[in-house]
Structure 1
Amino acid sequence: MRTCPVCDGEVTTDAAFCSHCGVTLQREGAVAGATDRLRELGGEIRMLSVFFVNFNGFETCVEQQIDKDVMIELRECLAEVETFIRSFKGTANQIVADTRVLAVFGAPKAHKDDPLRALNCALEIKNWWKHKKDEKMLLKNIDMTIGIHTGRAFFGYIIEAYSFLTVIGDTINIAARLTGLCRSDEILISESTYNRLAHYVDAEHIGERSVKGRTTKVDTYLVKGIKKEPQITPAQKLPFCGRRTELEKLKDIAARAQEKEAQYCMISGQMGIGKTRLKEEFEQYITESDEFDYIETHCSVEIESPYFPFKFLLKQYFKINEYDTKEIVKSKIRDTIAQKGLAPRHIDGVKHLFETDLTRLNREELLRINEEIYASMKQLIKHECRDKSLVLIFEEFHKADEMSKYIMSYLASELKNEPVMFLMVNVSKDFVAHINVPIQEINLLPLSMNEIKELVGSILGEVDEKVIDFFFRSAGGNPLFTIEAIRNTRRTKIIKNVSGRWLLDKDQRLSFLDDLYGVVMSTIDSLASSYRLIIDYASVIGYSFSLRVLDRLLTRAHLHEQLDYLITEGYIILSKNDDDPVYVFRHNLLKDAAYTVLPLRKRKEIHRHVAALLEEIYVHQLDDFYESIGHHSLSCEDFKKAAHYFKRAGDKAKNLYAFNQAISLYNAVLKINRERKGEVSTDTVRDVFLNFSDLYEITGDVQKMIKMAEQGLRSAREDKQHVQEMNFMERYAYGLFLNNQLDKSAELLLTSIEQCDEDSPEILSIMHSDLGLLYQTKFEYEKSILEYNTSWRIARDNAMKKAEIVCLLNLARIHTNLGNYERALEYLNYGIDELISDDMRWQVQFKAMIGTIYYRIWDLEKADVVLRECLTQADDIGHTEVSIKTALQLAIINTIEEKTKIAQEYVGHADSKITFMIREKLMAEINLMKAAVYHRLGDHTRARNLLTSALSIAEKLEDTEIICSCYALMSIVDSENSMKHAMTALDAAERIKLPPLIALALYRVTQGYLNENNSEKSRYYGRKALLMYDDVKMRLTDGHRKKYVQRPEYVQLLEI
């Protein structure tokens, strides 16, 4: 037994009606699948087609005292109507204590053709009623009316005990009022429904009607029937012609992804060939499957914005709207993380995309930000494809910004063994050439004659073969061109319908098909003026546009419904469906064509309005729109605002490592400043100079760095801006240092330190740190240590934690290079205990250096433990440099222990982590370490090649330390020139005065003389080498000395 949801009366489990009140009951288990989700969520807003079936006249029968028979007939009629509705896959709800049934199409299960299903269902009910009245005398005076409307409405299970859907909204009210406007046995439909069915339905426009509960009137149509010969417009959903093989290939690729083998696929082809349609059919397939989840995103077309498609993807994942405040964004991210069981450290990178930092950051901080973004994307994708395969779809990927391309390459190497599929629509050849995984291409070719015949037949019906041949020749097998050719030829009477068969009246060339622009303009020109206006305004907003902005621009009723119509028409696509829907043009050229025909004055007016609206509507996430506001401001010649936003966009790009984009944006600011004097403030221009000097340092363009620093320095001095003057003096001095003008750089730094105020501790600390590096380069290590310690003291006294950490690392490195291993360990352990206990990234950096020191002391067991822990943590948080170096260090240790296979695996791991962000010096270190591995593995040829590469970079950078290490190892792998390489290494080591390197070079020279059987010289250099090793040994603790004396070179030197 169960309880009736209306009267609480007990009924049997399988009862169709309540025996107490007569309400229709839904069977147990009937609300599965989508409805389970609705019960959990409560409901949602969706596009629905709804109609009421209203029986008028039963009340009169009741008044005539025939109540029992009336109730029986009413129940039967309502039940039969519900059966019709369900047969068309709609949802039927009887209105309690009423003579109406509500039909809902689109909930809980949505179909592409829900408006058509609603219309066909209503017509079938109408025909049924006509016959029913003829059969039953009792029904002779009963009339039936139906009103259909399509629009957005809320639906869900509001009252948990009720087993039927509740549908709420203006959409329902309009349908109910249309039913009330109907005359006997009529069907009325709203304009919204008519727009979706214009090519199917035969309807008479009866004008606007006032309805209760609405201030605006409803444009209404009277349904006459279904057209026997539907007239084609782009709104008709065309059959999927000629792409079934390609669709099956996509399905096969998705199936392979399920085997935990990541798949990368691209759809390519000319405009209009069917790329988007193929993608949509594939989306439909994965949507209907329980084995996949998918997220679709798109790239920014007009202006590059760092990580745009991935940020768009993340907004969908975290359900973030552009108008959300920063607090709401944080809350949504935090709640999603908790709900999905993600580790907070795995999404550290996400915050950088939603909490834009525009402060000045150094190279290490920039690198950290981007590596955290990379790691977060990897962890999120891995998490999401644990239970189901994940399909990620990228539209217009040939327009992807450089950072999105780089992260895609990274993900390709990191997710090889995950059940994920990357589907990219349109991909540049340059990207395909540089990604390190194979991309399966689905290149769409023109349709065949038979496929064009199927397409044309689906549009026109019966067609003469000459017509098929004409369209095939004219459009070249392109589906879009074929559709436009059909529209054009019907309008110009080139084809005619004779007795239900289309014939070719005259064979002439369709000149508008000669270029894409002509085709697109033909498409746009076929729109009614109200829809054309929407396309015009949207084209100014951009390839991607939101409903909120467009609605404020146009301020018209039913805009949502009109946009839905344009989706059906094939002009736009709904890219993000939430409280602020986002649309994109189906073809970018369509947007360009609409934009170019707008009068210049009108374009400027719209651009100005859009810029203001973006500032107003998205004030809480304005950083997402810096580039767009700058673009719109420049387009309407508001140069001051354009410069302001281009500067901020450049800062954002710089801090997200998108250096090329940042340079382009900063140049735009300087161009405005040159051409429009007074539009850009001098402070803004100086900030650009300062950021340029930082960028050119990182990109290695030292001359440009010096030039920008000089320009900024002159400007700061002219305006007597002391703080900025100190910043530019530091940049200028550092540029000179990089340009190897060491004495001039030192002089400028010392002068700057004297002039720098005590209330500018940050720049003062940096200057002392620069001096420490300069003296280190000049091999004046005591001075270097003094400057580093001074920098550390300033940082510590002024609570500058980041600067203090950097100073500790610098001090640890220099003491390690000098062989002061115990002192280096003290600095590192202090940092771990006092400064970085809550920062995993700094921890792995400090611990990796500790592991390297253990290796140099020859405590291989400790080194192995520490480095393996570091490698795991570095991979987890995405610290690329530590991951590569620790992997190679572990490879070297495993070659020492003769674990060849493990060593090779570590080398492979290191290789997989190498990205575009690896700077030249690090690449030289990597090649040097790999050469050491291959030397121990006996592959001297590969070792020589790697050393040659490392030497080339080191000599370019004048890095004597790497040069010395390379020649020391080359003396082993290049036996023909062994002594020459060893002596070169010794000469370099003595110049840089680093005891561990001098000891190593002396040992190599000793080996060389031993190989030449020159015992006298081998003993001489051997004793010198042993003294250097002993000097390092004496600075170790007793425990470390016991390990150190086991070094193979030390043991061999003792024997000599």
Structure 2
Amino acid sequence: MPSVKEWLASHGLSEYADRFAEHRIEFSILPDLTDKDLKEELGIVPVGDRRKLLRAIADLAGAASTKPKLAPGSEPSPRDEAERRQVTVMFADLVGSTALSTGMDPEDLREVISAYQKCVADTVHHFGGFVARCVGDGVLVYFGYPHAHEDDAERAVRAGLDLVTVVAGLRTPARQQVRVGIATGVVVVGHLIPSGESEERGMVGETPNLAARLQSIAEPNTVVIAESTRRLLGSFFQFDDLGMRSLKGIAGPVRAWAVLRASSVASRFEALHATGLTALVGREQEIEFLRRCHFRAADGEGQVVLLSGEAGIGKSRLTSAFVGLLVGEPHIRLRYSCSPQHVDSALYPIIDQIERAAGLAREDTPRAKLDKLDALLQQTSTSAQDAALFAAMLSLPNDRRYPEAELTPQQRRQRTLQAIVLQIEALARSCPVLMVFEDAHWSDPTSLELLGRVVDRIRTLAVLLIVTFRPEFEPGWVGKPHVTSLSLNRLARREVGAIIDHIVENKPMPADIRQDIIERTDGIPLFVEEMTKAVLEAESESEARRAAALVPSPALAVPASLHASLMARLDRLGPAKELAQIGAAIGREFSHPLLAAVVRKPEAELQAALDRLISAGLLLQRGGAPYPTYCFKHVLVRDAAYSTLLREPRRALHARIAETLESHFADISENQPELIARHYREADDVAKAVAYLSAAGDRALSHSALKEAYEHITQALQLISALPDDDIRRREELKLQTALARTLQEQKGYGDQQVGEAYAKAREFSKRVGDAAMHLAALYGLWAYNYLSGQPAAMLEQANEFLALAQREDEAGPIMVGYRLVGTSRLINGYIADASDALHQALVRYDPDEHGAASPVGRSLRARFGHDVGVTMYSYRSWALWLSGQPADAEKAAESELKRGHALEHDDQSRLYALWHAGMTYVLLGNVDKVAEIGGKLTEFANDRQLPYWQALGDFLCGWCAARAGRAADAVGLLQEGLRLWAQTGSRIFRPICLAFLADAYAADDKPDLAHRTFEEALRIARETGERWAEPEIHRLFGDLLTRGGPSAEGVANYEQAIAVAREQGSRSFELRATTSLARVLSEQGGHAEAHDRLLNIYRFFDSGCDAADLADAKALLDELSSAPQPRGQ
């Protein structure tokens, strides 16, 4: 192996040998050197030399440790593991080799085959390819392994086209021809055969076979490519669409393309965006800045703008948009585009620009090319001596039209650079010039030297020079007065959304996938564009293809168009790439202690690898020693690193991470169990993954992080089906299902259908397991669902089942709750007397000291059954007391309920529960001031916490108050909004009475038709659902509407119906209220005696000393009827 000194000399850099020796730089150290090391530590100032060194080091990392078999640098670096990656594969086959073998001496044939193989090796090596295998006259070549380039597909096709030309020029007895097939895809590549059996690095996947099959259908001296490759090539080449072809060994027809020739394109950006540009978003300030620079340059003050930014940030897009703005303005545009394949080709961007400007075509004769060049140069009156220099630069032969100059190579180089500068000066004298020098980070050293001269010269010329480059490039012109640096930042989320919308147009895209794109593309416009396009393509594929991709969303895969450029950045890391893979498995962000514990390497070695990742711009460090954290700069870089890991090594790595977190990081185990769950899930340890997901769900639920709780629990339920169906699994499944139901209940409200389904499933699980406590919890949830969804009959059934189970288990607390559920259910169904009995049974078992909110038993009951048990009992007890004709006791119960609720400072749900039910008690009592006070509190509290369920109930109370205060229009608005919010929660309970409130408000607002229809709807819902407790009041209010213009038979019928239903239910207060309304109508019709007698019969049941509003109204009417003159004869 050569020494470092000899290695430097082989690259023309021997002047730095002493510096390398002084700093003890050995071959093992070379891969860790950075651009900063070369400049600041070794003192290598010229950018071109630093760039050449870094490229040579990168090549060295990929060189074989033994002598190359086919071409220098064509062997991959030793790898311990195979990996998964996207590769472009070329298969080249010599045409007619079978005929050759029959007509040639074996030794002659061997020479032909050897010459062909060497020709292939040299050609593909020039383009960065790796010759993987030669089998006779067939050669398999990889582009993208062992080192990726962001333009691997383009390199492969250019290599294929060059191969056709070079093979044809081989010095063999007969002219040789070649067929080339190329395909791109994801493969497994590396050591595929156990160590000791073979040293061959192979490839597994469909892509090599596809490339070989495409070669078989190619015409001689033709390159045929797959659709997967064509998508990555833009307009770099001209193609012939061969249509869909059936290929042996390939499932289904595939589309094939023949590559005709390379295209002449002004820039790489234009070639890759040939189908159109997306809207320029978020760059208004930068465009305006460039316009100001253009105006100054047009006035003779030359300007240089150094436009920098990471790959994909939009440098070329911004430049393209600015160029478009100048269309129509007098100027000359010179566009130079550097290429990653020509970093060592002197003056490549200059030559390319001149060839395009002159219109030189490949098929032109040398004379025709010279004629075109002369026509171009005549526009600036270029001298014959300088024209000769331009012709030589373009490798055109001098046909004696130019004078011959005896110049040394160095003199010719300097004169050529001077001639180019003079050209620019001449153009600037005739018209303002816009020069765009793109991708300077790929420039060859000579072009950079020329660019430096141009920067110095244009200060007094009408020239605007825009130089674009990536952050790793360090221009030497910063600080000059006419030079301005402009760095592009990432886009904001809103701007990213605008790009997505522009690409998607009218196509459907789910909101969660759109959010995935925003999150994963980090504000990089190119990432946004390619990810969005990839998602749209994925959405058009079959579900089977998406399932095969093993990703839950199309936005969670790395697009093929970005894969190569991301892998190129990773492959340049050398040994640090393994650390990037481990970090990627941990997550986008990870701490130094965790990484060190997982990696298990010496600290110095670990830190050196981390420094390499940071200097390469892949990681960001946050915080300092001893506990720094690291974050991948881009999500997609992390994903690309992770995607290279094969399944088994990936599982083992995740298991190691999970075990490390368990054993060394107790705080994470306690506070972030979902992280450990993720690693156990990826390690296929389902039991541990489920256990940690369950813990994560419990923790999230306890912190009211409902969305997170739902995700953790549903993931656990999905995973648990893979475990054996034993008692342990069934108990864990029951626990998870109950937690899911509770999460959905708190997230969506008990009235949502998903909540009912979740609790119904939990009830079935609890029966299978035989767990009475969980069975009670599930029954309570199912009861609450039926309660809020307006299914009183089912609610009563679950209440009875709950009470029966609690009594069998002989648990005092659940028995008390069971009586409360039965009492509430009977009340809603309209069985007022039975409801009062059941609620009484609950209350006699209630001990404030034992069951209060501060007691352990009270807290346990609240956790199991949703609310403070005392609040819930007094809530419905106050309703039952009023309905059964005890308004004074009802008011006392409501006051007690409010006090209990107010004392529950940290139990929002119970406090709100108390406010609503006490508020409704005061509605029944007719206490407008008290309802207004409670409704205001409820609304404010609910609005502040964004709780639509309670907001709706607050609106009902406030709407009722507004109607009683004579503000009918306000009442209508509040009640309509309350009903809208109520419907959104999935709740249907209380709809009949609230619709009756709305109908009454319509009537007050002089909208009788609307009122009539709304009363009918309220009665229909009450009959359909069985929620009959308020049916007497609905009939009474309907009767008020119908008799508003005077007595009516229909109105009287509604009063009679109200009285009959109230009497049937045992609802004496509603009976009193309806009888009072009926008595007024009868009195108006002259039936004073009948009115008096009927009203007196119900009034006698009440305590005459009570000052309730309904009793006062009835008493006043009785007094009026008693003094009214009786008709004669009576």
TM-score scaled by structure 1? 0.47
Task: Decide which structure has the larger Cα Rg and report it.
Answer: 2
TM-score scaled by structure 2? 0.44
